[in-house]
């Protein structure tokens, strides 16, 4: 039997991927969110959104400054596209609108909504200590410093920044009426019309200085973990009549369909925290336990350095608290040595460490957590998925795609988020680092860390969320390429009206 050339096989796999990612999805039923991962494997992966913003996840970050948005007040002469894409109401936004208070310039692309139903007016995706609001608005921006358009940015780990606004039923909101008065013109899927520009800034809370910040994903397929989330603490209001305009007017089906399907309840349920910390720009707050602050980036880099090339026995003995969830501030050993580490002093260099230093240079080059600069590189999720699909096809284990992608992506996202002070260091990430260390030292540290975790409160929950297992219970993630940037043209299923976040 004649074998197909590798180039032909690769092409066929790419075509298969395109077909899969063009699959129909819904919020309920046979194509509902519990089945998204069959066609969109990242939906079953790491760092997914939305989440329940619980008090125990919160950490105050004094470096978070008020959000600054530019050119959000549009004139009536500027026309915007208002559309019904079958999943939400979506409004296109001009490229002059952008966020100027983030490390990169994030240019606005579109805004859309998630809502409940007339019988259950609770449809926000993010919840706060279990409270679900009536509606949630997402203003989607892409990293225009690095990518030419949103289609090229959507699958990059630093590609998107979304402003989330929680909306409750209360007073009438004239800003929302600027587009709701046209909603009868987009009753059915794929209907669009042009509406005059308006004051988009008025859709946001009056003050933009109090918010929650975390690393997450698109809340709709393909669920790439590419979003820097900013959820404003203070909700805005719309009247019940305005809420019902969205909840009862629209259909997710086409006008010619014989059985119209109402468009409501279009929200994804909360996902696992995955070791993430939710940073806050404000202190205190109802239900928040004190005002703990995150450990500094310098401290975290030094902890990582010790894991990579330091004395692991010393870390297991006196510095173990630094590896436990919530960092040094929450888990004190009281020893002078560990106190020095917290104050930012240089880690001691033992003879053992100096001997290991030279031996580790070579392995650090290839190990995905060995290069400190790697945390600044953006993962390209499309190219990563294609590479893993090819590998699994060759070994006839395609059904492992979701688990393998998660095991590949999670440690790298966790490490980057940890260095950015937005996650705890997960046990699975520590173990993947220890894979390159001497067996006796690594085993000793792993045993000490596992024992310490077992002694903490709610141990079962912590371990379950922090250790993503493969189908076969493996704790060692597959290695990820250092620079997986893709220069391929945008994929056809990433058209602006085809996805929400």
pTM of the predicted structure, to 2 decimals: 0.78
Does some domain include residue 382? no
Selected residue with higher pLDDT from 170 and 425: 170
pLDDT at 43: 96
Which pLDDT belongs to residue 454? Answer: 80
The Cα–Cα gap between 185 and 217 comes to 31
Residue 489 lies in a domain: no
pLDDT in tens, 269-316: 999 999 899 999 998 754 454 455 667 788 888 888 888 888 888 887
What are the pLDDT digits (tens) for 331-366? Answer: 333 333 333 333 333 333 443 443 344 334 333 333
* Residue whose C-alpha is closest to residue 66's, from 39, 36, 99: 99
Report which DSSP code applies to 174: H
Q: Which residue has the higher pLDDT, 393 or 498?
A: 393
Q: Tell whether 394 is covered by a domain.
A: no
Between 69 and 464, the higher pLDDT residue = 69
In order, the DSSP letters of 242-289 are HHHHHHHH-BSS-TT-SS--B-----PPP---TTB-EEESSS--TT--
Of residues 68 and 8, which shows the higher confidence score?
68
Find, among 78, 321, 343, the residue nearest to 199 by Cα: 78
Active site residues: 87
Q: List helix spans (H) across 165-271.
A: 174-180, 240-249
Q: Both ends of the chain: CA-CA distance in Å?
A: 46
pLDDT for res 6: 44
Nearest-CA neighbor of 97 among 110, 88, 84? 110
Question: What's the rounded Cα separation, in Å, for the pair 205 and 482?
Answer: 40
Mean pLDDT score, 33-53 = 95
pLDDT value of residue 393: 79
Residue-level pLDDT at 294: 67
In degrees rounded to 5, what are phi and psi of residue 111? -130, 155
- Under DSSP, the state recorded for 461 is H
Higher pLDDT, 291 or 30: 30
427's CB contacts (< 8 A; 6+ apart) are: 449, 450, 453, 463, 466, 467
pLDDT of residue 60: 92
What is the number of domains present in the chain?
Answer: 1
Q: Specify the pairing of strand 160-169 against strand 227-232.
A: parallel
Of the candidates 266, 237, 124, the one whose C-alpha atom is nearest the C-alpha of residue 176 is: 237
Residue 326's pLDDT is what? 61
Rounded to 10°, the helix 401-419/381-394 angle is 140
Closest CA to 27 of 312, 331, 264: 264
Percent of the chain with pLDDT over 70: 74
CATH number at residue 249: 3.10.200.10
Residue 72 lies in a domain: yes
Q: CA torsion 153→227→124→189, rounded to 10°? A: 10
* Cβ atoms of 45 and 264 closer than 8 Å: no
Domain hosting 222: range is: 54-291
**pLDDT value of residue 362:** 36
- Does residue 111 or residue 331 have the better pLDDT? 111
Handedness of CA 46, 52, 56, 60 (dihedral sign): positive
Query: What pLDDT does 293 receive?
Result: 65
Per-residue pLDDT tens digits for 208-257? 999 999 999 999 999 999 999 999 999 999 999 999 999 999 999 999 99
Q: Answer whether residue 474 is part of any domain.
A: no
Would you say residue 160 lies in a domain? yes
Kindly state the average pLDDT of the residues 409-417.
90
So what's the pLDDT on residue 443?
Answer: 84
Alpha carbon separation from 16 to 19, 21, 31, 390 (Å, rounded): 5, 9, 19, 11
**CA-based R_g, the chain, Å:** 24
Residue 484 backbone phi and psi in degrees, to 5: -85, 25
Q: SS3 helix, strand, coil % of the chain, rounded to 5?
A: 40, 15, 45
- Cβ neighbours around 340 below 10 Å, total: 14
Please state which of the ranges 5-14, 148-157, 225-234, 285-294 shows the lowest mean pLDDT. Answer: 5-14
| Residue 204 belongs to some domain of the structure | yes
Look at 469 and 74; give whichever has higher pLDDT: 74
Q: Indicate whether 231 belongs to any domain.
A: yes
d(CA 462, CA 54): 14
């Amino acid at each position: 039997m004649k074998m197909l050339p590798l180039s032909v096989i690769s092409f066929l796999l790419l075509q298969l991927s395109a077909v899969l990612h063009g699959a129909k999805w819904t919020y309920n039923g046979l194509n509902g969110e519990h089945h998204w991962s069959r066609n969109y494997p990242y939906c079953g992966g790491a760092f997914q959104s939305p989440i329940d913003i619980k008090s125990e996840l919160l950490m105050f970050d004094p470096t978070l400054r008020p959000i600054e948005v530019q050119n959000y007040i549009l004139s009536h002469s500027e026309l915007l596209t208002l559309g019904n894409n079958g999943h939400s109401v979506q409004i296109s936004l001009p490229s002059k609108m952008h966020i100027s208070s983030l490390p990169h310039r994030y240019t606005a692309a579109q805004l859309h909504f998630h809502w409940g139903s007339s019988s259950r007016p609770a449809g926000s995706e993010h919840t706060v200590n279990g409270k679900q609001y009536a509606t949630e608005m997402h203003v989607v921006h892409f990293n225009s410093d690095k990518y030419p358009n949103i289609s090229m940015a959507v699958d990059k780990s630093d590609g998107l920044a979304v402003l989330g606004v929680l909306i409750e039923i209360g007073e009438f909101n004239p800003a929302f009426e600027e587009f709701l008065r046209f909603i009868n013109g987009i009753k059915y899927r794929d209907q669009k019309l042009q509406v005059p520009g308006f004051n988009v800034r008025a859709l946001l809370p009056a003050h933009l200085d109090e918010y929650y910040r975390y690393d997450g994903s698109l809340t709709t397929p393909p669920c790439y973990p590419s979003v820097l989330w900013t959820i404003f603490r203070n909700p805005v209001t719309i009247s019940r009549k305005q809420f019902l305009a969205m909840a009862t007017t629209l259909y997710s089906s086409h006008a010619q369909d014989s059985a119209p399907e109402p468009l409501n309840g279009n929200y994804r349920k909360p996902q696992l925290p995955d070791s993430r910390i939710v940073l806050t720009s404000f202190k205190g707050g109802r239900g928040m336990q004190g005002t703990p602050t995150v450990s500094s980036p310098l401290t975290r880099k030094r902890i990582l350095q010790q894991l990579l090339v330091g004395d692991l026995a010393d870390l297991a003995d006196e510095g173990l608290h630094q590896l436990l969830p919530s960092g040094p501030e929450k888990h004190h050993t009281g020893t002078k040595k560990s106190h020095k580490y917290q104050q930012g002093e240089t880690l001691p260099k033992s003879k053992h460490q100096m001997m290991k230093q030279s031996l580790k240079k070579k392995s650090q080059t290839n190990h995905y957590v060995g290069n400190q600069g790697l945390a600044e590189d953006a993962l390209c999720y499309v190219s990563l998925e294609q590479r893993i699909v090819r590998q699994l096809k060759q070994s006839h284990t395609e059904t492992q795609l979701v688990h393998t992608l998660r095991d590949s992506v999670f440690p790298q996202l966790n490490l980057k988020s940890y260095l950015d002070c937005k996650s705890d260091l997960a046990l699975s990430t520590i173990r993947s680092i220890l894979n390159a260390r001497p067996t006796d030292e690594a085993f000793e540290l792993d045993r000490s860390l596992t024992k310490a975790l077992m002694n903490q409160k709610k141990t079962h929950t912590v371990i379950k969320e922090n250790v993503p297992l493969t189908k076969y219970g493996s704790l060692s993630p597959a290695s990820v390429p250092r620079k997986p940037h893709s220069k391929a043209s945008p994929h056809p299923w990433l058209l602006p009206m085809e996805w929400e976040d």
